[in-house]
Structure 1
Amino acid sequence: MGLAAIPKPPKLARRALAVAWPVGAAALTGLAAPVIVAGAFHSFVDKRARLFRVSCLGVGLVWVDVRMLMECWKLSLRARGEASPTWEEDHEQVFLAGLNRAMILAKRWVGFEVVLDGRMHFGTEGAPLIAFARHAGPGDSLALAWLLGHTAGRMPKIVLAEALRWDPTVDALLTRMRSYFVPSRSGAGDDRTAGVRALAEGLDGDDVLLLFPEGQNFSLRRRRDLIDRLREAGHELRVRRALQLWNTLPPKTRGVIASLEARPDADVMIVGHAGFGRLTTPAEIWDAIPFTGRPFLVRTQTYAGSQVPNDAAGIEAWIDERWDDIDAWVTAYEGGPEPATGLSSTQHSAPRT
């Protein structure tokens, strides 16, 4: 069961979580203290000091989250029920500062570092930007939001699962920033893209709409499961399409089409990343810590709105081609899976530049 199947918390639970979270964070910190001490002693055995690193990082991230929630409270108290002219901008600064603290902690404790592969083009000044990104590996959503906010100078407007409202900070902060929480499957209704379309229509000239067309983190198991489901449903063309992708899932196109139709004037950034896509289980992540010498490598390609098709069929073909490029690049960097699907490495083209 993925995040898409988890409904948002009831309204009363959301309020209770917001009040209880700082107290819960203090309790978690108390429980983590002996683990940190044990991790420090265990580092004499485990020279990579993984238990010490992870426990320190976990506590640090908890308090980054709590600090952002408390800053949301401060902004609410300052506003006193009246809409402030800088309400959204104030919350955006809280978000960017929190992302920066989280990235500093991740680099300090586990060696997580974002590295650009080539020059990053930020799009036309004064025009909105829509970014379609690969979804794989631990922390990719936060890393890409940080990259777009701090390096590209674009304020991320994020499309994310409604289940993440169980984190009171995410619920409060991203709601006030006009991000879109995709409804769970149990309460989605007929059109789950209406919010994506509305978010795209409301983009300002310095915003970036960040979407993950795959809908879920890549893993070999999910790739196999998707191929099996498509095969059972008789979608042979889609099966062949999925088989040609070794390190990505085929992009879902409804949200892509909705956002591009809503803002044909926007530039479009395609974001690929490599280095962490094969870390899909806790054991694999644990074995890779610290990530020294394993950068979170990001490659971007930016297109003017005039270079992107404006009809649904054209958009679908275009995003499929972009995902072919991403998959070929990632496969060249990370390698392919075991050829259990009947394809050999010789059937995959070299990455296009």
Structure 2
Amino acid sequence: MGLVGIPAPPLFARRVLAVAWPVGAAALTGLAAPVIVAGAFHSFVDKRARLFRVSCLGVGLVWVDVRVLMECWRLSLKHPHGDSPTWEQDHEAVFLGALNRAMILAKRWAGFEVVLDGRMHFGTEGAPLIAFARHAGPGDSLALAWLLGHTAGRMPKIVLAEALRWDPTVDTLLTRMRSYFVPSRSGAGDDRVQGVRALAAGLDSDDVLLLFPEGQNFSPDRRRVLISRLRAAGQELRARHAISLWNTLPPKTRGVVASLEARPDADVMIVGHAGFGRLSSPGEIWAAIPFTDRPFLVQTRTYAAADVPDEPAAIEAWINDEWSAIDDWVTTVEGQS
């Protein structure tokens, strides 16, 4: 089913989670302490020290998350009505700080490092940017948001599954930053594209809309299931396109079209990445830790607004071609056929 099929928690549960989470984090830390000690001793057997690394990283990320929630509480106490002229900017600073701390922890404990393949063009100064990114492997969403925020100097506005509201920090912070939580499939009558359109329309000149057109993380199993579904639905052309892609899922085009129609003045960045896409199960991720010999390699292509198609059919053909190019690049980099 994936995250897209999980509904958001009810409002009452969201409020309870926000209060209970710091207490829960303290309890988790207490439970993790003997695991960390055991992992330290086990590193004499496992030279990659995976148990020690993962447990330390997990505790560190939990407290990054809690710290962000407490920063949100501090801002709420300072401005109970959210009427500060710098309300959104204050939360954006909290977000960027949290991303930086998370990436430092990921590099220290898991050897996770972002490496650029070629020059990264940030788009036209004074114009918003829309980024369509491949979705695959552990941590790609955080890594790409960090890259756009710290390297490109663009504030990410993210489209993400509403199931992530079960994390009270994500729920609180990203709601205040005007991100869009896509309703689950169970949300009857929801126009899941309308929110994407509204988010794109509200972009400031230094923002970037980060959208993952595949809708879910790539895995070989998801690829096979999607091909079967497309064939069963009689969508033979889309099925053939999916068959031609070995490392990506075919992009869902409604959100792409909606965002480009809402902001025809926006430049567009296509973001591909390689190195982690085949790590789709806990066992595969565990075996690869630490990632010191496996950089998170990112390649981008940026198009001026005038060079991007503006008709729905042309946009669909264009994004499909871009995804085929990403797929070919990943195959070349990872040596897969």
SS for the counterpart of 2:132 is: strand
**CA distance in structure 2 between the aligned counterparts of 1:160 and 1:82, rounded to whole angstroms:** 23
Counterpart position of 2:39: 39
Counterpart position of 1:72: 72
**CA distance in structure 2 between the aligned counterparts of 1:240 and 1:110, rounded to whole angstroms:** 38
**CA distance in structure 1 between the aligned counterparts of 2:238 and 2:107, rounded to whole angstroms:** 39
Q: Give, in angstroms, the shift of residue 238 of structure 1.
A: 1.4
Q: Give, in angstroms, the shift of residue 203 of structure 1.
A: 0.2
Counterpart position of 1:136: 136
Q: Does 1:167 align with 2:167?
A: yes
Q: Give, in angstroms, the shift of residue 190 of structure 1.
A: 4.9
Gapped runs of 5+ residues in structure 1? 337-344, 346-353
Q: Give, in angstroms, the shift of residue 234 of structure 1.
A: 2.0
Q: Identical aligned pairs, as a percentage?
A: 83
**CA distance in structure 1 between the aligned counterparts of 2:64 and 2:299, rounded to whole angstroms:** 28
Cα deviation per residue 1:199-246 (whole Å; 9 max; x = unaligned)? Answer: 000000000000000000000000011111111222221111111111
RMSD, matched Cα: 0.8
**CA distance in structure 1 between the aligned counterparts of 2:121 and 2:262, rounded to whole angstroms:** 22
Cα deviation per residue 1:134-185 (whole Å; 9 max; x = unaligned)? Answer: 0000000000000000000000000000000000000000000000000011
**CA distance in structure 2 between the aligned counterparts of 1:192 and 1:335, rounded to whole angstroms:** 37
Counterpart position of 1:87: 87
Q: Structure 1 residues 40 and 117, CA, compared in 2 at 3 Å: closer, same or farther?
A: same
Q: Structure 1 residues 82 and 230, CA, compared in 2 at 3 Å: closer, same or farther?
A: closer
Q: Does 1:324 align with 2:290?
A: no
Q: Structure 1 residues 307 and 55, CA, compared in 2 at 3 Å: closer, same or farther?
A: same
Counterpart position of 1:14: 14
Q: Structure 1 residues 82 and 199, CA, compared in 2 at 3 Å: closer, same or farther?
A: closer
SS for the counterpart of 2:13 is: helix
Q: Which amino acid aligns with 1:273?
A: H
Counterpart position of 1:63: 63
Tell me the number of residue pairs that the alignment of Structure 1 and Structure 2 aligns. 337
Counterpart position of 1:49: 49
Counterpart position of 1:193: 193
Q: Does 1:291 align with 2:284?
A: no
Counterpart position of 1:258: 258
Q: Which amino acid aligns with 2:202?
A: G
State whether residues 155 and 208 of structure 2, in contact with CA within 8 Å, keep that contact through their aligned partners in structure 1.
Answer: yes
Q: Structure 1 residues 268 and 45, CA, compared in 2 at 3 Å: closer, same or farther?
A: same
Q: Give, in angstroms, the shift of residue 288 of structure 1.
A: 0.2
**Deviation larger for 40-49 or 181-190:** 181-190
**CA distance in structure 2 between the aligned counterparts of 1:235 and 1:316, rounded to whole angstroms:** 15
**CA distance in structure 1 between the aligned counterparts of 2:189 and 2:203, rounded to whole angstroms:** 24
Q: Which amino acid aligns with 1:218?
A: F
Cα deviation per residue 1:316-339 (whole Å; 9 max; x = unaligned)? Answer: 011011001100000111243xxx
**CA distance in structure 1 between the aligned counterparts of 2:233 and 2:80, rounded to whole angstroms:** 55
Q: Which amino acid aligns with 1:326?
A: I
Cα deviation per residue 1:277-307 (whole Å; 9 max; x = unaligned)? Answer: 0000000000000001110000000000100
SS for the counterpart of 1:29 is: helix
SS for the counterpart of 2:186 is: helix
**CA distance in structure 2 between the aligned counterparts of 1:4 and 1:246, rounded to whole angstroms:** 22
**CA distance in structure 1 between the aligned counterparts of 2:188 and 2:107, rounded to whole angstroms:** 38
**CA distance in structure 1 between the aligned counterparts of 2:76 and 2:197, rounded to whole angstroms:** 28
State whether residues 183 and 190 of structure 2, in contact with CA within 8 Å, keep that contact through their aligned partners in structure 1.
Answer: no
**CA distance in structure 2 between the aligned counterparts of 1:72 and 1:235, rounded to whole angstroms:** 46
State whether residues 91 and 173 of structure 2, in contact with CA within 8 Å, keep that contact through their aligned partners in structure 1.
Answer: yes
Counterpart position of 1:341: none
**CA distance in structure 2 between the aligned counterparts of 1:89 and 1:241, rounded to whole angstroms:** 41
Counterpart position of 1:155: 155
**Deviation larger for 306-315 or 78-87:** 78-87
Q: Which amino acid aligns with 1:117?
A: D
Q: Structure 1 residues 335 and 189, CA, compared in 2 at 3 Å: closer, same or farther?
A: farther
SS for the counterpart of 1:185 is: coil
SS for the counterpart of 1:7 is: coil
Q: Give, in angstroms, the shift of residue 81 of structure 1.
A: 2.0
**CA distance in structure 2 between the aligned counterparts of 1:263 and 1:220, rounded to whole angstroms:** 34
Q: Which amino acid aligns with 1:164?
A: L
